[in-house]
Amino acid sequence: MADNGIAAATCPIPISKYPQVMLAHGGGGKLMHQLIEGMFVSSFENPMLSRRHDGAVFDVDRGRMAFTTDSYVVNPIFFPGGDIGSLAVNGTVNDLAVCGARPLCLSTGFIIEEGFGMEDLWRVVSSMKRAADAAGVVLATGDTKVVDRGKGDGIFINTAGVGVIPDGIDIGPHRIGEGDAVILSGDLGRHGIAIMAAREGLEFETTLESDCAPLADAIFAMFDRGVRVNCMRDLTRGGLASALVELSEASGHAIRISESAINVEEDVRGACEILGFDPMYLANEGRFIAFVNAEDADLALDVLSGFEAGNGASLIGRVGKNPDARVVLESSIGADRIVDMFSGEQLPRIC
């Protein structure tokens, strides 16, 4: 496995003594406290954590807050462009951001299988810390459970997040209206194909990396520059297609998109052709769609172009009449087709 720059020598738990996580590391006794204090609290250090309380305590101003959760069970846990730790931070930060919320703090719940490598745990924790710093969020409270060998799969991580929605921001399916421009923030499907390639040992001409990235800065730049954003959704499991269908149903509006406006990298397109996948359904971990007032579409694209996470953003469609709630894709050869959610299972444990 790639080292990601984290040497075993920096691990605060003595690896020669405890090369693997043991059941006692989740038992509530001395070893658990050594793990929590030595690895988690010291890595994630911040005033909320350092109170050693059963929960984080923080002040808020009158206003609106957002609250979200995701569990991460991705397999493999290390992949080109990220790992389960960066995914667990970015995924939840992004769920807050697409609610229009500035991420404030995250909780982390680890479920670790007995025998999981202590050095791998340290790499994951270090990656969470880097991702949290990059996203400007603190890891404020946490929990660690260890399950017996064969009853888990290395490590699962749950993160929940709390964020603050600034005054004047109101984002949600109820705000989608006829004529809204649909902006896609970048190319599709790299996360899905990168995970599959890592799992199956596929090789590409270039290294295909996950798109895993925090989105809050790009999203808040749109607000700051005056883009009237009505709704957003980050594209994870189920991909662009599922997000569009969900929002079409939730808003009662038709959505019409153009296949040729959707950016897909050559390697991703090639992998899809060989493997029979459709990029519309591939998972992403650093992409979102935004529904903005039609006259703000160019401004939105201009703002996004200033961010790595918005590189490759494009206007992919328009919102149609209410109550014709369906998603129509105009294919590159000019034919229309109805987009539906997929049935069955495309690629399990992608996030």
Pick out residues in 60-119 that bind a copy of itself (CB under 8 A).
60-73, 75, 95-96, 98-99, 101, 105, 107-111
8 Å CB contact between 347 and 273? no
Please report whether residue 175 would count as binding a copy of itself according to CB under 8 A.
Answer: no
Q: What is the contact mask toward a copy of itself in residues 264 to 303, using x (rule: CB under 8 A)?
A: -------------------x--------------------
Cα(236)–Cα(242) distance, integer angstroms: 9
Among 5, 14, 47, 55, interactor with a copy of itself by CB under 8 A: 55
List CB contacts of 152: < 8 A, sequence separation 6 or more: 111, 112, 113
248 binds a copy of itself (CB under 8 A): no
Instruction: Give the contact letters, 124-163, x = binds to a copy of itself (CB under 8 A), - = no.
Output: ----------------xxxx-xxxx-xxxx--x-x-xxxx
Is the four-CA dihedral 200, 205, 207, 213 of positive or negative sign?
negative
Residue number with CB closer to a copy of itself (5 or 47)? 47
Pair of tokens at residue 58: 């923080």
233 makes contact with a copy of itself (CB under 8 A): yes
DSSP string covering 323-342: T---EEEE-TTS-EEEE-PP
Using CA atoms, how far apart are residues 38 and 273, in angstroms rounded to an integer?
A: 48
**Two tokens at 235?**
């594209």
* Rounded least distance, CB 263 to a copy of itself, Å: 21
Part of the chain binding a copy of itself (CB under 8 A), chosen from 58-66, 129-137, 209-217, 313-321: 58-66
Least distance CB 201 / a copy of itself (angstroms) = 18
CA–CA gap between residue 300 and residue 287 (Å, rounded): 15
Choose, by CB under 8 A, the member of 1, 2, 7, 57 that binds a copy of itself. Answer: 57
Rank residues 206 and 343 by Cβ distance to a copy of itself and give the closer one: 343
Calculate the alpha carbon distances from 119 to 123, 132, 143 in Å. Answer: 6, 20, 19
Helix (H, G, I), strand (E, B) or coil at 347: coil
Among 16, 30, 276, 333, binds a copy of itself (CB under 8 A): 30
Binding segment for a copy of itself among 124-132, 208-216, 231-239, 261-269 (CB under 8 A)? 231-239
What is the C-alpha separation between 244 and 144, in angstroms, rounded? 36
Out of 9, 59, 276, 338, point to the residue binding a copy of itself (CB under 8 A). Answer: 59
Closer CB to a copy of itself, 4 or 34, in the complex: 34
Q: What minimum distance in Å lies between the beta carbon of 210 and a copy of itself?
A: 17
User: How many whole angstroms from its chain centre is CA 44?
Assistant: 20
DSSP helix/strand/coil, 162 = strand
C-beta of residue 278 within 8 angstroms of C-beta of residue 268 = no
Rounded CA gap, 26 and 16, in Å?
Answer: 19
Sole binder of a copy of itself in the list 86, 127, 185, 236 (CB under 8 A): 236
In the bound complex, what is the minimum distance in angstroms from residue 86's beta carbon to a copy of itself?
18
- Least distance in angstroms from the C-beta of 76 to a copy of itself: 12
Contact 121, 19 (CB under 8 A): no
